């Protein structure tokens, strides 16, 4: 009670103090200043005003499952220092907030993100319905340990904090089939992104006991639908030795020492490189396709590209028979997986495209040169300098003034104008275009919650990032020096700076503002 | 206590929000430059960089020199924190710094790139130490501070307080506060391992301690720069200690009687021509009008303000 009275007194004093307004900013004090100044626009510095509500009155350090949160957004809410080996580093901590600005978890997570499976061709496939949350705990006398949980984006379920991850686990992987995580010290699991249950678990102890230098490699080489995974150990003489683990049986075989490399299994086969050439092994370590090729790629949709010692590219079936021989001018074969998979046979001055069935794709006439964009789109330059976008019978023609197509998303294309200072945004259906001026870089982004596409540009000239809607209207701008770029989350602008995190409507109304309590300088 | 602290912070925030000065009248005459006056424009305005603590100053400088609002000039103020700012000056991606004193790495980087700087203090600064308002200790000697942070004094009873262990919080290395602590307070005495070394801890209690490091810790002592404590409301509900019997105030910091001394500096490449926009701005910051602006923004100007 005494404290409440004290508080009331303080409030009264503060409010009383407010009744007298501060004088306007000072005018120039020197009548002969060598510099022209104008103090009239100077307003007081405003520290960010916190604006949020709390679901739980007490400090909350974990996700308490509930059905009515709606999508949860990770926000940077604290920055802490940690001394280690004589150095102190800073680490952000992340909390979770609803789209209404209600804090559900205080900033306690050392990371909180929606997992993304990066592909070898540079594309990424993210999961929007789950978050991986990580707490880092101190281990007395040892290195800190990070423990992760998988959580529904809307917080209606959350696993225990039992798991660890490495970014390598997510490389070249379709995460919708299962999210690979290390559980405790000895188990490898794939969690179902729908509800977090363990789709598959394998005991890693038999392999750990072999003295594997990088035990996590086993998991990064495993695909949820494959039984086997390659691994590498260091033999007693110090040389690397490869083997194949049968994870369901908990057994393994060690391969001959002339194996130089094994790729992850794909469609039951593993690409193997030996001193004499490359071929394919099955899970028992038997050659299904002998190592007679100079170069070999992974199987995809029943075909793999190999290069023979004469330098010619062939497409093989899993039994080793030749499905197709690439043109003799071909010097490189690339696979572009995804919803519209493509093979590209590339020569010095020409290209041949094949669909997943190895059927040649006929490019539009008058194609002078071409390049693969994303989602199966091919950009073809015409003799008039303009470009044609092409995908399985769909074509869109652009004049040379609009620039060169760089990326396509949700029926819109981004084209870089030749002078490098602007980009064009074109609707593929209507052909309508808008210019994105002062843009050095541009790319599509996607709001993970609403699925809405938008565009982010960077301007070297203005030293700022800008978000645009697909109609070309500006959503927000932020300077290059800001601690992070703005992004859209659930239709709101997430703005994270050194000293505060905010959620704003696209009309600039503040939904959430959290002051980050540590001043760094 | 936690709730009271929160309410006090809320009250102070409301107070500060309500106390902002009214914007200037729309008909405020825009000064007409005299023929011999230099006019800054967005095109010739130097690329500023600096510390987090000098962002408000950077905005104010740009606002007054360009005649634009603080919000309008925000896209000109890309301050990358102390260390990075010094590196950017060496690399030529910044023209002028408004910055706290750098660490040794900044000077080593400058020397390895054969650069020289012109560097002048524009505002006095210091470290302040604070404790929970319930802590009976009002004053420490500088030696006692040093002994606490080297781990030789461990109980408040050793410095006139209650019989309770001292929780001595530190700031992260690389920031200005820790550099000042090392240079101006500790000297050759090594600092002990920080009690707030854990950046995430498993228990709720521990997390509160780590995240809200200054709150609700009756036995804690911490420090930050005066500007934060005094002008940015970082010390709500806490008590600033006097050091060697001197309280930290604008006057004791400016006249040097408060025993810990540091500064914010204007720094530019020594080869910068004096009549270039950067050179002109550098000199203006040291002029009486520049110093008035610095004081107006809540920093301790090195010259007494006249307005």
pLDDT digits (tens, 9 = 90+) for B191-214: 876 654 443 333 333 334 444 444
pLDDT on residue B157: 96
What share of chain A has pLDDT > 70, as a percent? 87
Q: What angle do CA A445, A446, A451 make, to 5 degrees?
A: 165
* Cα–Cα distance for residue pair A392/A364, rounded to 1 Å: 11
- B96-100/B48-50 β-pairing: parallel
Question: Measured between CB atoms, does B4 come within 8 Å of chain A?
Answer: yes
User: Do A446 and A433 contact (CB within 8 A), yes or no?
Assistant: no
In chain A, the residue whose alpha carbon lies closest to the alpha carbon of B205 is A59
Judging contacts by C-beta atoms under 8 Å, the chain A residues touching residue B235 are none
Judging contacts by C-beta atoms under 8 Å, the chain A residues touching residue B98 are none
In chain A, the residue whose alpha carbon lies closest to the alpha carbon of B1 is A3
Question: Measured between CB atoms, does B190 come within 8 Å of chain A?
Answer: no
The DSSP code for A41 is T
Cβ-nearest to A28 among B172, B196, B289: B289
Phi and psi of A244, rounded to 5°?
A: -125, 125
Q: What is the three-state SS of A287-339?
A: EEEEEEECEECCCECCEEEEECCCCCEEEECCCCCEEEECCCCCCEEEEECCC
For residue range A3-20, list pLDDT tens digits in order: 333 333 333 333 333 333
Cβ-nearest to A26 among B7, B67, B292: B292
pLDDT on residue A142: 65
Region at B10 (left for phi over 0; alpha for psi -120 to 50; beta for the rest): alpha
* Cα–Cα distance for residue pair A45/A48, rounded to 1 Å: 10
Cβ-nearest to B177 among A29, A39, A521: A521
For residue range B45-59, list pLDDT tens digits in order: 999 999 888 989 999
10 Å CB burial of residue A377 (0-12, 13-18, 19+) is buried
pLDDT on residue B173: 59
Which residue, among B185, B113, B120, B115, has the nearest Cα to B148 in the 3D structure?
Answer: B185
For residue range A448-460, list pLDDT tens digits in order: 899 999 999 998 8
User: Do A332 and A305 contact (CB within 8 A), yes or no?
Assistant: no
List of residues 6+ apart from B64 with CB closer than 8 A: A37, A38, A39, A42, B293
Neighbouring CB atoms inside 10 A of A41's CB total: 20
pLDDT on residue B31: 62
Q: Tell me the helices (H) and strands (E) count for chain A, helix number first.
A: 3, 44
* Average of per-residue pLDDT across B1-21: 31
* Average of per-residue pLDDT across B169-188: 77
Q: Is the pLDDT of residue A87 over 70?
A: no
Q: Which helix (H) or strand (E) holds B177?
A: helix B176-180
Question: Measured between CB atoms, does A5 come within 8 Å of chain B?
Answer: no
The residue to which tokens 């059905």 are assigned: A67
Which residue, among B56, B68, B236, B205, has the nearest Cα to A38 in the 3D structure?
Answer: B68
Query: A residues 71-110 near B, CB within 8 Å?
Result: 77-78, 80-83, 87-91, 93, 106-110
Which residue, among B303, B289, B281, has the nearest Cα to A32 in the 3D structure?
Answer: B289
* Average of per-residue pLDDT across A304-316: 95
Neighbouring CB atoms inside 10 A of A483's CB total: 17
The SS3 assignment for A383 reads coil
Q: Is the pLDDT of residue A407 over 90?
A: yes
Neighbouring CB atoms inside 10 A of A448's CB total: 22
Contact B63 A41 (CB under 8 A): yes
Beta bridge partners of A84: A87
* Average of per-residue pLDDT across A180-206: 91
Q: Is the pLDDT of residue B30 over 70?
A: no
Rg (CA), chain A: 29
Strands (E), chain B: 48-50, 96-100, 117-125, 127-132, 139-140, 167-168, 220-225, 238-240, 242-243, 262-269, 300-301
* Cα–Cα distance for residue pair A313/A162, rounded to 1 Å: 46
Q: Which two tokens stand for residue B277?
A: 């926009």
CA distances from A407 to A100, A375, A380 (A): 33, 9, 13
Q: Is the pLDDT of residue A438 over 70?
A: yes
Contacts 24+ apart (CB under 8 A), A415-420: A415/A387, A416/A442
Query: What confidence tier does A193 reach under pLDDT thresholds 50, 70, 90?
Result: very high
Phi and psi of B224, rounded to 5°?
A: -160, 180
Judging contacts by C-beta atoms under 8 Å, the chain B residues touching residue A3 are 1, 4
* A445 or B7, which is more confident: A445
CA distances from B51 to A270, A484, B86, B160 (A): 54, 17, 10, 36
Judging contacts by C-beta atoms under 8 Å, the chain B residues touching residue A139 are none
Would you say the ipTM is above 0.90? no
Share in percent of chain B as helix, strand, coil (round to 5): 40, 15, 45
For residue range A136-178, list pLDDT tens digits in order: 776 666 667 889 999 999 999 999 999 998 877 877 777 888 9
* Average of per-residue pLDDT across B136-140: 95
pLDDT on residue A23: 37
Half-sphere exposure of A506 (CA within 13 A, CB side): 13
User: Do B294 and B306 contact (CB within 8 A), yes or no?
Assistant: no
Write out the DSSP string of A218-244: HHHT--TT-SEEEEEEE-TTS-EEEEE
Contact A36 B40 (CB under 8 A): yes
The SS3 assignment for A422 reads coil
In chain A, the residue whose alpha carbon lies closest to the alpha carbon of B171 is A81
For residue range A23-78, list pLDDT tens digits in order: 344 444 455 678 999 999 998 887 767 899 999 988 788 899 999 999 999 999 87
Query: B residues 17-36 near A, CB within 8 Å?
Result: 17-24, 28-31, 33-34, 36
Q: What angle do CA B122, B125, B130 make, to 5 degrees?
A: 165
Q: Is the pLDDT of residue B16 over 50?
A: no
pLDDT on residue B247: 95
* Average of per-residue pLDDT across A217-239: 84
Crossing angle between the packed helical segments A2-18 and B2-18, to the nearest 10 degrees: 10
Query: B residues 68-97 near A, CB within 8 Å?
Result: 68-70, 72, 74-75, 77-82
* Interchain CB contacts (distance < 8 Å): A and B: 240
CA distances from A365 to A370, A383, A428, A486, B159 (A): 12, 10, 20, 42, 88
Q: What's the whole-model pTM score? A: 0.72
User: CA of A298 to nearest chain B CA: how many angstroms apart?
Assistant: 42
User: How many residues make up chain A in this entry?
Assistant: 521
């Amino acid at each position: 009670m005494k404290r409440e009275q004290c508080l009331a007194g303080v409030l009264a004093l503060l409010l009383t103090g407010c009744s007298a307004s501060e004088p306007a900013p000072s005018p120039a004090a020197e009548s002969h200043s060598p510099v022209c100044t104008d103090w009239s626009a100077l307003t007081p510095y405003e520290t960010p005003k916190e604006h949020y509500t709390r679901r739980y009155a007490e400090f909350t350090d974990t996700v308490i499952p509930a059905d009515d949160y709606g999508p949860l957004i990770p926000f940077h809410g604290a920055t802490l220092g940690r001394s280690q080996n004589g150095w102190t580093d800073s680490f952000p901590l992340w909390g979770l907030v609803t789209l209404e600005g209600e804090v559900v978890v205080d900033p306690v997570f050392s990371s909180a993100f929606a997992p993304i499976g990066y592909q070898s061709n540079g594309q990424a496939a993210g999961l929007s319905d789950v978050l991986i949350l990580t707490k880092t705990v101190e281990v007395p006398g040892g290195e800190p340990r990070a423990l992760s949980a998988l959580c529904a984006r809307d917080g209606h379920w959350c696993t225990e904090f039992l798991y660890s991850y490495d970014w390598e686990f997510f490389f070249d992987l379709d995460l919708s089939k299962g999210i690979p995580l290390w559980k405790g010290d000895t188990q490898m699991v794939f969690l179902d992104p729908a509800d977090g249950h363990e789709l598959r678990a394998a005991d890693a102890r038999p392999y750990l006991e072999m003295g594997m230098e990088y035990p996590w490699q086993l998991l990064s080489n495993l695909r949820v639908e494959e039984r086997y995974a390659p691994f590498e150990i260091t033999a007693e003489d110090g040389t690397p030795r490869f083997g194949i683990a049968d994870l369901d049986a908990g057994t393994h075989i060690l391969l001959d020492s002339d194996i130089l490399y094994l790729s992850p299994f794909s469609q039951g086969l593993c690409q193997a490189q030996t001193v004499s050439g490359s071929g394919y092994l099955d899970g028992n370590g038997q050659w299904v396709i002998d190592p007679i090729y100079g170069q070999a790629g992974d199987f995809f949709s029943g075909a793999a590209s190999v290069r023979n010692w004469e330098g010619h590219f062939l497409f093989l079936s899993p039994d080793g028979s030749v499905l197709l021989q690439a043109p003799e001018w071909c010097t490189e074969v690339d696979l572009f997986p995804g919803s519209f998979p493509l093979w590209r046979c590339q020569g010095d001055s020409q290209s041949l495209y094949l669909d997943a069935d190895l059927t040649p794709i006929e490019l539009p006439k008058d194609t002078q040169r071409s390049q693969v964009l994303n989602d199966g789109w091919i950009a073809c330059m015409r003799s008039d300098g303009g470009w044609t976008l092409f995908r399985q019978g769909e074509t869109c023609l652009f004049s040379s003034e609009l620039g060169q197509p760089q990326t396509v998303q949700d029926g819109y294309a981004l084209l870089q104008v030749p002078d490098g200072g602007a980009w064009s945004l074109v609707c593929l259906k209507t052909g309508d275009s808008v210019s994105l001026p002062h843009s050095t870089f541009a790319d599509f982004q996607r709001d993970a919650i609403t699925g809405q596409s938008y565009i982010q540009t960077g301007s070297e000239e203005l030293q700022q990032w800008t978000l645009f809607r697909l109609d070309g209207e500006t959503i927000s701008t932020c300077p290059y020096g800001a601690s992070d770029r703005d992004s859209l989350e659930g239709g709101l602008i997430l703005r994270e700076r050194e000293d505060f995190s905010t959620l704003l409507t696209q009309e600039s109304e503040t939904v959430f503002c959290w002051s980050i309590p540590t001043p760094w300088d | 206590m936690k709730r009271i602290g929160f309410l006090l912070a809320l009250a102070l925030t409301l107070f500060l929000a309500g106390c902002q000065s009214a914007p200037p009248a729309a008909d405020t005459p825009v000064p007409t430059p005299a023929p011999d006056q230099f006019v800054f424009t967005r095109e010739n305005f130097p690329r500023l960089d600096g510390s987090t603590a000098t962002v408000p100053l950077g905005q104010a400088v740009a606002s007054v020199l360009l005649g634009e609002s603080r919000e309008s000039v925000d896209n000109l103020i890309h301050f990358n924190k102390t260390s990075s700012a010094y590196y950017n000056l060496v690399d030529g991606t910044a023209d002028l710094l408004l910055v706290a004193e750098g660490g040794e790495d900044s000077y080593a980087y400058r020397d390895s790139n054969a650069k020289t700087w012109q560097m002048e203090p524009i505002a006095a600064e210091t470290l302040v130490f604070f404790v929970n308002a319930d802590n009976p200790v009002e004053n420490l000697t500088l030696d006692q501070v040093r002994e606490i942070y080297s781990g030789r004094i461990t109980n408040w009873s050793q410095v006139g307080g209650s019989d309770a262990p001292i929780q001595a919080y530190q700031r992260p290395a690389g920031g200005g506060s820790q550099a000042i602590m090392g240079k101006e307070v500790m000297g050759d005495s090594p600092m002990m391992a920080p009690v707030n070394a854990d950046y995430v801890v498993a228990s709720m209690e521990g997390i509160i301690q780590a995240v809200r490091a200054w709150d609700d810790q009756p036995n804690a002592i911490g420090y930050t720069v005066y500007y934060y404590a005094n002008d940015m409301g970082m010390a709500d509900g806490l008590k600033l200690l006097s050091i060697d019997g001197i309280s930290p105030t604008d006057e004791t910091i400016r006249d040097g009687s408060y025993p810990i001394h540091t500064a914010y500096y204007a720094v530019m490449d020594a080869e910068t021509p004096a009549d270039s926009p950067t050179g002109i701005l550098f000199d203006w910051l040291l002029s009486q009008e520049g110093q008035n602006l610095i004081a107006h923004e809540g920093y301790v100007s090195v010259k007494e303000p006249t307005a």
